[in-house]
Structure formats: C-alpha cells, structure tokens
Amino acid sequence: MREPATWSFHEILVSLTAAASILVGAAIPVLAMLCAWLAGASLESGVAAALWCAGVELIGFELVASIRRHLGVRDLLVETSIGLAMGLGILGIRLLLH
C-alpha cells in the first residue's frame, strides 16, 4: 500500500472486462444525462433524468431476467418487486439530495 502499484496493459484489460456489466448498466443513465446536457438542460435536470432512467432500468432488468429464466408468475412478481424496490431506492436518493 505504501508503494505505487504498477499496472500492465493486460491487468487493465482484465479489470475493464470484469467491470463491463457495470459499464453496460450505466450506459442508459449516462446517455440520459448527455442528452439533457446537449439539450441545454440544467445539471439538476440531467441528474434527475439519469436517476429516473437508472430506476426504470433496474425494474426492466429484473423483469427481463425473470422472463428469460422462465419463472412462474409469483416468482416473476417477486423478482420485479425487488427491482421496483431498488428503483424506488435510487429515486429516494434524489429526494435526499434535493
């Protein structure tokens, strides 16, 4: 920890590959913020759009994952409810920061 770490190109590539799913998940909120910026919206509006997109994205991902796993109706509702709870948690962060 006291000496600076040296990274090789291979180690950086492995780390980025491991974080690829995080980057994919962040793409939609980042695009929403970018679109708001290009449209001339305020920073607060861009952040609000990104948070809404992230919340809706969580619900959508949970729903799609449940359908792809061929879950029953009850399990599908439980999985989607978990996504809804996480999405509402993200929107709750907006209320705390506002």
pLDDT at 39 over 90: yes
Q: How far apart are CA 79 and CA 61, in angstroms?
A: 10
Domain boundaries, given as residue ranges, for the chain: 9-97
Torsion of CA 74, 93, 55, 73, to 10 degrees: 0
Q: How far apart are CA 29 and CA 63, in angstroms?
A: 18
Q: How far apart are CA 41 and CA 98, in angstroms?
A: 17
**Furthest CA-CA distance within the chain:** 54
Segment 46-89, tens digit of pLDDT: 988 998 999 898 888 888 988 999 989 999 999 889 989 988 88
pTM score, two decimals?
0.71
